[in-house]
Structure 1
Amino acid sequence: MLELSILGFLAEQPLHGYELKERIKALSGHVRPVSDGALYPAITRLVTAGKLDQHTEPGASAAPRRILSLTDAGREDLLERLRHPKQAEITDHVRFNTVLAFLRHLPNRREQAAVLRRRLDFLQTPSSFFYDGGKPVRAEDSGDLFREGMLRVARATGTAERAWLQEAIERLESAG
């Protein structure tokens, strides 16, 4: 997801490393913080693979800054990742939000709708944080105030997300 975030933010504009880190942190840092030890090796991998360009500009007050930008190969990689997200990027809420943050870069509305439909299909399958005899435990049947809270919030969130997904898919598919 880190590489997807790097490619996605650089598709919007060239950035230097610190700006990029701050944007990634704002997107998912509250749940999955990004460290320099993860970010800069990922940037190096993408530069080495020809997906990012880098050049140096004078710093505002002191040291020069390394500016990163997306190459054509990087844009193609971004689009491919958006067209075909891994299953974990569909089923994990934080990862899906990262895909969603950049899905507008995918130019084909039907392809955008297909990604949303995969998430909707996943959300239609009954699930729970807790199971009894292989069956999902409902909030009302949990017998625990705190688990009931978890389950009720998850149900409300899931209901809202499914409604938005259905609306978005309809809008994308009707627009052609």
Structure 2
Amino acid sequence: MLFAAIIACEVGFWVLLGAGLLARYRWRRRGLSTALLICVPLLDVVLLAVSVIDLRSGAEASLRHGLAAAYIAYSVMFGHQTIRWADRKYAHRFAGGPPPPKPPADGWPRVRVETTFWLRMVAAYGITWVVTGAMVWLVGDWSRTEGLVAFTAGLARVPLIAALWPVSWAVSVLRRRGRRSADEQSSEHDRIPG
């Protein structure tokens, strides 16, 4: 039942998002669009309720409960950003809006973008722990929720691996800056009469 709820919430996210964008740009019904887009976070409430009901009815916490917690955290940290991205894409493609801004291609601005994204991942991981803790507390039986805690602990690999992107961009920028500095020093040395 919980896997079906997770899938239904994911499908519901995209259906509500698509319907909200259609209402805004195709049907020119801004109020309806706003109402549909406001309903998107309610899916998280539904998923949380289904997860807690499942656990309280005697189910042993497992992968599906961990996925529900991670889905809720992702939605909190990236849902609004995803809606804004889709809105800009749709407005540009179907409503004559300006093209969506592209992320910086290089340098410290790119490092900032990658670091911000990574920090959002870390925050989502923290929210996953909060939701997991709430589920464990609501169930009140460690033996039935031990698997949920183990799954959430294993998710630490995601932000740890994702840290490679901002670090690699920063190292790349620093290397180029070091090479540029060395080139400038050697060209200055060449200009000084010996």
Would the TM-score normalized by the shorter structure come out above 0.5?
A: no
Higher relative contact order (CA 8 A, sep 6+): 2
> TM-score, normalized by length of structure 2?
0.32
Flag the structure with higher strand content: 1
- Tell which structure's C-alpha radius of gyration is larger: 2
Flag the structure with higher helix content: 2
